[in-house]
Structure 1
Amino acid sequence: MPQINQLPDIFISQLFWLAVVFGIIYFWIGRGLVPKIQSVVEDRDKKIADDLAAAQRAREQAEASEEAYRERIDASRSEAMKVAQEAKHQAALDTEKRLKAVDAKIGKKVAEAEGKIRTAADAARRELEPVAAEAASELVSKLTGQKISAKDAETTVKAVLHG
């Protein structure tokens, strides 16, 4: 192979051009591209840090808003409980008033009914006394054979019935 025979003649020139090309590439990347890449990375890091800070501020605001919301909810609940207790108390008072009024009406009706019952019982006793006196007179006459006057039988029956 003839190319291998030429290797010692061109080896130094190839090494020179290799060093020149690598040097150009090194300076082009090192001086041109690396600063641009670093500035992009730094900008990106700064944007991420700013976004994280903004997110943290938003989170703190959200927590503060949530705390205020919870306080308002707690205040509303306590106010609602207070209103409910007042309404319950008022309803109990109204119910008590109604019960007293109904109780008074019922008491009045009971008193009227008791009066009617007493009147009816007295009327029944008055009607019962002559019948009882007549029955007692007949019983005595059948049992003993003696006749008792209606007046005596009536006084005896009255004494037994009225104590």
Structure 2
Amino acid sequence: MPQIEQLAATYASQVFWLLVFFGIIFFVIGRGMVPKVMATMDDRDKQIADDLAAAEAARAAADAEEEAWRVQANAQRAKAQALIAAAKLDAAKATEATLAVASARIDETLTAAETRIEAARVAALGEVEGVAAEAAQDIASRIAGLTIPADEAQAAVKGVLAHG
């Protein structure tokens, strides 16, 4: 059969050209383009890994810087608290000293005032005694017609005031 005889020649030619095209495609794409694509992908993966490593290093540096800042802020806060406590203590001591001086002045003024009051009381009592003695002399002379010496009237008034 002639159709069957042609099959071997036709198929042989088609198989040959199929192998030639697959070979060309294999060498052009498989040996030429695929390695370039793979190299590009490897470069991209390497760049991504490097970027991730750099980001991780930057994050670690930022964390370390933040921790150092916190330590410094805590130290400054503690120093400020110590300064405030010292200032409060100094202010309390100064206030206490001022209060002690003021209290001493007040006590001194109070003592002087008490002394003046006692002197005024004694003076007033003396005047009251004098007035009472004169009144007693006047009453005795008007009512009883007696003349009483001033020193006796003074002693009688003192006696009455001492018991009263």
Residues in 2 aligned to 1:160 and 1:38: alpha-carbon distance in whole angstroms = 133
Question: Is the alpha carbon distance of 1:152 and 1:42 closer, same or farther for their aligned partners in structure 2, counting shifts above 3 Å?
Answer: same
Residues in 1 aligned to 2:17 and 2:96: alpha-carbon distance in whole angstroms = 111
Unaligned runs of 5+ in 2: 1-9
Task: State whether residues 140 and 146 of structure 1, in contact with CA within 8 Å, keep that contact through their aligned partners in structure 2.
Answer: yes
TM-score for both structures, normalised by structure 2 = 0.75
Task: State whether residues 137 and 147 of structure 1, in contact with CA within 8 Å, keep that contact through their aligned partners in structure 2.
Answer: no
Residues matched between the structures, number: 151
Residues in 2 aligned to 1:65 and 1:139: alpha-carbon distance in whole angstroms = 105
Are 2:64 and 1:64 equivalent residues in the alignment? yes
User: What code does the residue aligned with 2:38 have?
Assistant: Q
Which residue of structure 2 lines up, in the alignment, with residue 81 of structure 1? 81
Report the CA distance between 1:118 and its aligned residue: 1.3
Report sequence identity in percent. Answer: 44
Report the CA distance between 1:132 and its aligned residue: 2.1
TM-score for both structures, normalised by structure 1 = 0.75
Report the CA distance between 1:104 and its aligned residue: 1.3
Report the CA distance between 1:159 and its aligned residue: 2.2
Where do 1:14-29 residues align within 5 Å? 19=18, 21=21, 24-29=24-29
User: What code does the residue aligned with 2:127 have?
Assistant: E
Q: Secondary structure at the match of 1:97?
A: helix
Unaligned runs of 5+ in 1: 1-10
